[in-house]
Amino acid sequence: MGNLLGSWRFKEPSTVEECDSTWGSDSEGDEPAAAGDDSGVSGSVSPADSERAAGEPGERSPQLTDSPESVPKMKRSFYAARDLYKYRHSYPNYRKSRQPNEYRNLRFYLNKIPLVPDGIYIEEILTKWRGDYDKLEHNHTYIQWLFPLREQGLNFYAHELTQEEIKEFQSTREAKRRFLAAYSLMLDFYGIKLLDKSGNVARAPNWKERFQHLNESQHNYLRITRILKSLGELGYEAFKAPLVHLFLEESLSHNTLPSMQHSVLEYFVYTIRLPATRRRLLRYARKHYRPPHGFMWGPPPKKRGGGGSTGAGSSGIRAPAPTPEQQRRGEEMSPSAGSRIIVSSHDAVVYREGAGGG
């Protein structure tokens, strides 16, 4: 038995629907879809089709400007969905490294070692790089050190986080203080300011200039995905929703970050671990997305006729079928049509609506 358990590996999902449980445990009473509304999770997408349809997170999604009948429905990226599924589920097939844990990320944040290969210490970055937007834009080695993850990035000198190091990091006040300073540094680079210790954010005074740059320099969308993931790993999960909401507001409502629309919906939203919070953000996005028929992130359209299906990836539990005795006793004992028992978390990250400012 021990050998069998030791060799067991988690079976990875093979479709977008299997990766996305956002709407499966929805107990908040979605409004019915309007007649002809085609919004919802698209059909199963193969990896090859997904790669052609979505590309990288920095790639702008083509806008659907014609009628729903004349434009083929876009598909979500399987690779994005799988990557973020693994992140949200703490890398279920993660194999512990045989190398000794050197806590290099923590030691970097304690200012004991410099980042490699540049030889720069964290304090120099925090005190001298703020406002140096050219350096923050063109240097590509610091981001993996400032925002470490449990996965390998493009800087192979940077070390992956481990569970043990995460625990040490979260209990070290000096490291956490510098981490928040690094987060504030990057927000300023993007034209955003951190308002408080709850993670609320708003436009910075220089937002017009920085948003224009962010529209044109789309490799930063990869960086933002990393930043959001790292926030969750190091104990700041609650900071994600305010930032993602701001990006949704700016890209969809104010059209100040139009190039970011696809990345926010395909990547940023799905770094958030709580389905209830993802649902809240996606409802806001669906309300403001144009054209409406191009919205493909849910909720899935409700099935007509039979009882409410919970959909792929659902954590809902259907009510059991009535027993023969219940059937004989009639409606009094049998479950109502379409009834189901929902198992879901009602915890929600609190974020301030409209944090993006006017």
Provide DSSP, 249-308: IIIIIS-SSGGGHHHIIIIIGGG---HHHHHHHHHHHHHH-SSGGG--S-PPPPPSSSS-
For the stretch 96-102, contacts whose Cβ atoms lie closer than 8 Å and that sit 24 or more positions apart, written own/partner, are 96/162, 97/160, 97/162, 101/162, 101/164, 101/165, 102/159
pLDDT value of position 96: 73
pLDDT value of position 9: 62
| Cβ count near 138 (within 10 Å) | 8
3-state secondary structure at position 173: helix
**Those residues with Cβ within 8 angstroms of residue 40's Cβ, 6 or more apart along the chain or in another chain:** 33, 296, 298, 299, 300, 301
pLDDT value of position 124: 97
pLDDT value of position 146: 97
Q: 118: exposed, middle or buried (C-beta count within 10 Å: 0-12, 13-18, 19+)?
A: middle
Run of H or E residues at 317: strand 317-318
| Cβ count near 157 (within 10 Å) | 13
| Cβ count near 333 (within 10 Å) | 12
Backbone angles phi, psi at 100, to 5 degrees: -65, 140
Record the tokens describing residue 33, joined without a space: 């879809």
CA–CA separation, 193 and 131 (whole Å): 13
Per-residue pLDDT of the chain (358 residues; tens, 9 = 90+): 444 444 456 678 999 999 999 998 654 444 433 333 323 333 333 333 443 334 444 444 444 444 545 555 688 999 999 999 999 999 988 777 666 678 999 999 999 999 999 999 999 999 999 999 999 999 999 999 999 999 877 777 889 999 999 999 999 999 999 999 999 999 999 999 999 999 999 999 999 999 999 999 999 999 999 999 999 999 999 999 999 999 999 999 999 999 999 999 999 999 999 999 999 999 999 999 999 999 999 887 764 444 443 333 333 333 344 444 444 444 333 333 333 323 233 233 333 333 333 3
Q: 11: exposed, middle or buried (C-beta count within 10 Å: 0-12, 13-18, 19+)?
A: exposed
pLDDT value of position 95: 74
Backbone angles phi, psi at 80, to 5 degrees: -65, -45
pLDDT value of position 155: 73
Strand partners, 340: 318
pLDDT value of position 152: 79
Residues 352/242, Cβ–Cβ less than 8 Å: yes
Give me the amino acid identity at 309: S
CA–CA separation, 293 and 278 (whole Å): 20
Give me the amino acid identity at 200: N
3-state secondary structure at position 230: helix
Number of H helices, E strands in the chain: 16, 4
Nearest to 78 by CA among 124, 17, 148, 152: 17
Residues 321/2, Cβ–Cβ less than 8 Å: no
Radius of gyration of the CA atoms of the chain, in A: 23
pLDDT value of position 93: 80
Record the tokens describing residue 49, joined without a space: 């089709």
Cα separation values, 319 from 44, 312, 333, 341, 342, Å:
27, 17, 13, 6, 9
